[in-house]
Amino acid sequence: MTTPHYIDGRWVEGQGSDCIAVFDPSLGQPFAELISASTAQVDQAVAAARQALPAWKRTSAAERATCLRGFATQLGQRREALIALQMQNNGKPRHEVEIDLDDAIATFNYYADLAEQLPQKNRDVALAAPGFSARTRLEPVGVVGLIVPWNFPLVTSAWKLAPALAAGCTVVLKPSEVTPLIEQAYGQIADALGLPAGVLNIVNGKAETGAALSNHNGLDKLSFTGSNGVGSQVMRSAAEHCRPVTLELGGKSAILVFDDCDPDQAVDWIVAGITWNAGQMCSATSRLLVQGGIADILLPRLQAALEKFRVGNPLTEEVDMGPLTSQAQWHKVAGYFDVAREEGLHCLTGGQVVDREGWFVSPTLYTDVPTDSRLWTEEIFGPVLCSRRFSSEEEAISLANDSRFGLVATVCSSDLVRAERVADALEVGHVWINSIQAVFVETSWGGTKGSGIGRELGPWGLSSYQSVKHVTRCLG
């Protein structure tokens, strides 16, 4: 890892002050290290993107679509290596990693199709006033900074990189220091495809590198996915420069289970919503709202399902859930177990770290959790589920909406009319009905309230990297 940064079409050594150790969370041991990019190297990456912008924005939609399909094809060709790396660095089971990779491939193919469907740059606009003509243009917003998290590397970057390139933007990508290796595949693919130098730049580093990028006056837009704390800093920086920003932040999402729901199906949806990626998802449905008539049937089955979960090293064992990805996250989740004991919460199962090497915790279920509990209100980012009972539809909606977050929700009911009605009443960006959290590139992703600003995926993801220009001409 002597040249981990991709700047202006070249792999270069890090010149920063941080040495980044890359860990296998199943063992709690490092397996690689790299030197971070310096502030000067961030400057170089932004300058390279700026220099490449005029030529890249002039490329045709067909050329950009070909490039994006090349990314999709190359990801597929690197499939086994990328799967192995993500299992080792993230601790995800193989079936989860395969879905992540397929999602990234689908994203590049989708935006290739969308790029080809883009309207002509000039579109006439009908005016009520005589004597004038008008046209509208969709143009790339310019040079964009992309800062992505560690819980879904490769995927989150695809969600940003593909539409940005499709729109004609040039980019500087900053991966998480926890998972800095897998995003290097994008630089390798850029080399293989002959992508013009400077169109894609990758700088690795910790907070100092991220701050240098988010504060850089050479950016025209910044897109960030991560914690609310860092997101607030990114937003302040955007305000200083008066530039657009997309923020995909935290969540404390609810899953609502009504009396008429099949309890076994509900258990499957609940378990998937809290244990996928060991609960390290902004969309984790970590608040379970269960109607009183089904609670005594549902909760024991849910407990049994969680206790059957196989937790271990996905590289050496058949597992349902791997470790938490970092030691810091392991300490954070363990701290919430301490808070639960201090608050006197009733733990039906779990509530402890696993006594083995690596950063493992047990899938956990607390019942009858007060709405003022820290575990009910704060994002934990682990496989920790808190439940409460409700009596009426109105109460369920009120409890679900009583949160400073508004990312996603799930509704479980055999009464589809009610399920759709409840979905419409929930103050979130995405709702699933009787389903696991299936995310499709054609749909939007993003939330309300403290869960962020803007939308990714679908046509909304592309439009966030475009600016609108109108040209009005007097005909006299």
Q: Which residues of 252-270 are buried (b: 16+ CB within 10 A; e: fewer)?
A: bbbbbbbbebebeebbebb
Interacting residues of 11 by C-beta distance below 8 A, sequence separation 6+: 3, 4, 5, 187
Catalytic choice (96, 177, 183, 248): 248
Question: Cα dist. 258→291, 371, 378 in Å?
Answer: 5, 19, 24
* Contacts within 8 Å (CB) and 24+ apart, 340-348: 340/366, 340/373, 340/375, 343/370, 343/373, 343/374, 343/375, 345/369, 345/373, 345/375, 345/386, 348/299, 348/303
Cα separation, 161 vs 153, whole angstroms: 12
Q: Which residue, chain included where needed, has tokens 């009733």?
A: 346
Other C-beta atoms closer than 10 Å to the C-beta of 170 total: 27
Question: Cα dist. 128→131, 133, 158, 323 in Å?
Answer: 10, 10, 42, 62
Here the tokens at position 16 are 């920063």
For the chain, percent helix, then strand, then coil, each to nearest 5? 40, 20, 35
The strand ranges marked E within 76-167 are 123-125, 132-140, 143-147
248 is catalytic: yes
Q: Is 191 left (phi over 0), alpha (psi -120 to 50) or beta?
A: alpha
Of 1, 3, 2, give the one whose Cα is nearest residue 31: 1
Cα separation, 269 vs 338, whole angstroms: 27
Query: Which residues face 456 on adjacent strands?
Result: 445
Of 249, 250, 269, give the one whose Cα is nearest residue 258: 269
Cα separation, 248 vs 160, whole angstroms: 11
- Kindly tell me the number of DSSP H helices and DSSP E strands found in the chain: 15, 22
Interacting residues of 99 by C-beta distance below 8 A, sequence separation 6+: none
Cα separation, 433 vs 257, whole angstroms: 10
Sheet with 200-202, edge to edge strand ranges: 10-12, 5-7, 200-202, 170-174, 143-147, 221-225, 245-248, 452-453
Cα separation, 171 vs 154, whole angstroms: 15
Report, as residue numbers or ranges, the catalytic residues.
248
